[in-house]
Amino acid sequence: MADLTALSISELQAGFRKGDFTPVDAVKGLEARIAAADPQIGAYLSRDLESALAAAAKADTSLPLGGVPIGIKDAINVLGEPCTCASKILAGFKSPYDATAISKLRAAGAIPFGRLNMDEFAMGSSTENSAFQKTRNPWDTSRIPGGSSGGSAASVAAREAFATLGSDTGGSIRQPASLCGVVGLKPSYGRVSRYGLVAFASSLDQIGPIARSTRDCALVLNAIAGRDPRDSTSLDLPPEDFTSQLGRDLKGARLGVPREYFVDGMDKRVRERVEAAIKLCEGLGAEIVDVSLPHTEYAVGVYYIIATAEASANLARFDGVRYGHRAKNPRDLLDHYMRTREEGFGSEVKRRIILGTYVLSSGYYDAYYLRAQKVRTLVRRDFTEAFEKVDAIVCPTSPDLAFKIGERVDDPLRMYLADIFTIATNLAGICGISVPCGFVEEGDKRLPVGLQFLGKALDESRLLGIADAFEKAGAGEVLGTDPLA
């Protein structure tokens, strides 16, 4: 039997339906690959092989994702599975329910399989902030995979998963997808229910897929999108087939190139690959249009005010009283709270809670949080005006290649700037996708570069169609390569 872990979701399902192999074979093949590869990569925190095999044995392969195993970021609740958010404060916690996205995956026939490593509470750009282990980039295991959904992206790149779910608050799906040479889709805010996703920043968080192709991302989005009465921010929209515009060409598409996304300090080789990719789009028939997003320079500052403020409120629930880690032998209630959180949270989470509490405090709320919300409106307006002229925006996903593990741990500002091209998408609530656009030679290694397409809110079908057309012309070499071969 061929190596099933090299197959796309569509190829896997075709094999199921022809009887060439079964979902049980797929789970066993995946487990064998994980056992061989994950000691090098460190993508998985845990997995329940017995439950996955039992689900595979009774899978209905006639369903849209029937029999397909899908890895899950450790911030998304799966009934009976650990949900630690890669934090000591939730060590040993097991989920009492399924997130809505998981319920929808199950209804589509998919098999949730494994808990994937991440930056603690999704706070980070490198997956070095996990309390349990570091995840490594399959293209060069001395480098980071990106974050916070680093385990989700690295597992797909290393063929330890057919597809995964991640979450994207400021680029946490797209940036690791870029650095690992896979495809990552951040849906529009409200397209996918957040119920069951452990909240980081509630006005920014969104669940989305990471896979080896745009088509696979579209298939997963078909399953998880939709209104959920348990999430008041999810939108009540008619059902949509997100594969409907796949297979089209780029002729006549108007693609905007924002001048603010080509900045000094960007890696020259990344810039060259992205510019070559834009030229390829033009050669495929797209019209390239210069656009401006003038408030981009404020996006990082605005994000780290709004996101930390919301994190400060959301993480107040982890107090050691209701669930999670609890300090031993506290002197009194205040000592219990303080020691529980001191022992349970890592340094990056503490940093963001302190910053968020500060910007919400009396005397600083108007100066920081309220002003940031006003600038967020201007960022959103920039995109609205740009999309009056173009169908989508094309730009880099990350200004840098994957950097060495440990290189930026003592420089949080430089780490935060890794998301400079992804943050504004979340502030505006629009959709975005990162697609591989080539390699850069780095010593004896080859490191992937990602190209980002951004679409207006709720325009995922057109965005996926544009990304698919580019992918078929420009990303085949990356998508067809095994980094561990």
Residues 6+ apart with CB under 8 A from 87: 120, 121, 131, 344, 345, 346, 349
Residues 368-374, mean pLDDT to the nearest whole number: 97
What is residue 368's DSSP assignment? I
Evaluate if residue 2 carries a pLDDT over 80. Answer: no
pLDDT exceeds cutoff 70 at 79: yes
Q: Which of 125, 148, 434, 461 is flagged as catalytic?
A: 148
- pLDDT at position 1 over 70: no
Per-residue pLDDT band for 480 (boundaries 50, 70, 90) equals low
Residue 475 has pLDDT above 80, yes or no: no
73 annotated active-site: yes
412 contact partners, CB below 8 Å, separation of at least 6? 348, 351
Cβ proximity of 307 and 352 under 8 Å: yes
The upper half-sphere exposure of residue 257, i.e. CA atoms within 13 Å in the direction of its Cβ, equals 19
Query: Using one digit for the tens of pLDDT, what is the confidence trace for 131-160?
Result: 999 999 999 999 999 999 999 999 999 999
pLDDT over 90 (residue 477): no
* Amino acid at residue number 72: I
Virtual torsion, Cα 37, 38, 41, 43, nearest 10 deg: 140
Q: What is the per-residue pLDDT for 301?
A: 96
Q: What is the token pair recorded at 86?
A: 């890669």
Report CA-CA distances (Å) from 32 to 3, 27, 161, 479.
10, 9, 11, 21
Superfamily of domain 13-256+384-479: Amidase signature (AS) domain (3.90.1300.10)
Reported as a single tens digit per residue, the pLDDT across 222-258 is 999 999 999 999 999 999 999 999 999 999 999 999 9
Task: Provide CB contacts within 8 A for 376, sequence distance 6+.
Answer: 302, 306, 427
pLDDT tens digit sequence for 408-452:
988 888 888 889 999 999 999 999 999 999 999 999 999 999 999
Q: How do the domains of the chain map onto residue ranges? A: 13-256+384-479
Quick: pLDDT tens for 100-131.
999 999 999 999 999 999 999 999 999 999 99
pLDDT for the residue 264: 84
Separation of alpha carbons 348 and 127, rounded Å: 11
Supply the pTM of this predicted model: 0.97
Active site residue 461: no
What pLDDT does 485 receive? Answer: 82
How far is C-alpha 66 from the chain's CA centre?
Answer: 23
Q: How confident is the model over 374-394, as a mean pLDDT? A: 98
Candidates 84, 59, 89, 56; CA nearest to 72 is 84
pLDDT at 197 over 80: yes
Residues facing residue 454 across a β-bridge: 393, 432
- CA 245 to centroid of chain Cα atoms: 23
Query: What residues have CB less than 8 Å from 367, skipping those under 6 apart?
Result: none
pLDDT surpasses 80 at 481: no
| CA pair distance 33, 451, nearest whole angstrom | 28
Nearest to 344, CA basis, from 308, 311, 321, 320: 320
* pLDDT of 479 strictly over 80: no
Which among 2, 21, 33, 29 has a CA at the least distance from the CA of 157?
33
172, 193, 234, 461: which is the annotated catalytic residue? 172
| Active-site entry in 73, 104, 134, 186 | 73
Has residue 162 got a pLDDT over 70?
Answer: yes
Higher pLDDT, 476 or 373: 373
Produce one character per residue of 277-316: b if its CB has 16 or more CB atoms within 10 Å, e if not.
Answer: bbebbeebebeeeebebebbebbbebbbbbbbbbbbbbbe
**Is residue 476's pLDDT more than 80?**
no
**pLDDT number for residue 433:** 98
Percent above pLDDT 90 for the chain: 94
Q: Is the pLDDT of residue 474 over 90?
A: no
Q: Helix H segments across 333-370?
A: 333-344, 347-360
18-48 per-position pLDDT tens digit: 999 999 999 999 999 999 999 999 999 999 9
